[in-house]
Amino acid sequence: MSQIITRYDFDAVRVVSATGARYYYEQRWQYMERVTELLRSIDPAKVLEVGAYMLPMCLDCDIMDFDIATVEYLERTYPIGKSFVMDAGVTPWPIADKSYDAVIGLQVWEHLAREQRSALLEAQRVSDHLIITLPYEWNCPENKAHHMISDKHVEQWFDGVEPAVNENIGESPFIRKLLYYEFD
């Protein structure tokens, strides 16, 4: 089983990054805790996390990120397996079919520049499970990637692929939509 983070791990990162990000981190634990519950139910041996920010959900996972500085930080800080320095919206991924028990993408899929569906299909190809979160109906026109993502967007991005779990977590104005897919 992968080494799934705990609240203690989360709090340690929150203290390190307390320069103005405290409220942001308090809000993050609400959905990250639910992700840890889903991961425990899956009991994955091998996990790929796309766009892990400061703290991967599984400390020993493989990671994918387009930002080399993020990848280098995570490699220095955690017992990361493989690292893929690439944009998850660029497919196909250089990963063999069903290499992972789970793929995780928290607050990432909205940044994939209209490639959400192709990235979802790649996650389906390389894993048995996918857990993603999205900013849900955030009113932030200055940030187009996060602005007013609705159920209609989710339906358009993932047309025909139904999640086993579709939950809204948190309170306005920072609700996250959690989607959990089972592909096996």
Say yes or no to pLDDT of 8 above 70.
Answer: yes
pLDDT of amino acid 53: 82
Q: Contact, 95 vs 42, CB < 8 A?
A: no
Looking only at Cα atoms, what is the longest distance across the chain? Answer: 42
Please check the confidence at residue 164 and state whether its pLDDT lies above 70.
Answer: yes
Query: What sign does the dihedral 75-53-39-119 (CA atoms) show?
Result: negative
pTM over 0.75: yes
Using pLDDT thresholds of 50, 70 and 90, give the confidence band for residue 159. Answer: confident
HSE toward the beta carbon, residue 40, CA cutoff 13 A: 8
| pLDDT class of 70 with cuts at 50, 70, 90 | very high
Beta strands 175-182 and 62-65 are unpaired
Structure confidence by residue, pLDDT tens digits, 79-130 = 999 999 999 999 999 999 999 999 999 999 999 989 999 999 999 999 999 9
**Residue labelled with tokens 């397996």:** 81
pLDDT for 94 equals 98
Instruction: Please tell me the distance from the alpha carbon of residue 152 to that of residue 131, in angstroms, as a whole number.
Output: 19
Domains and CATH numbers, the chain: 7-182 (3.40.50.150)
Q: 36-69, pLDDT tens digit by residue? A: 999 999 999 999 999 998 899 999 999 999 999 9
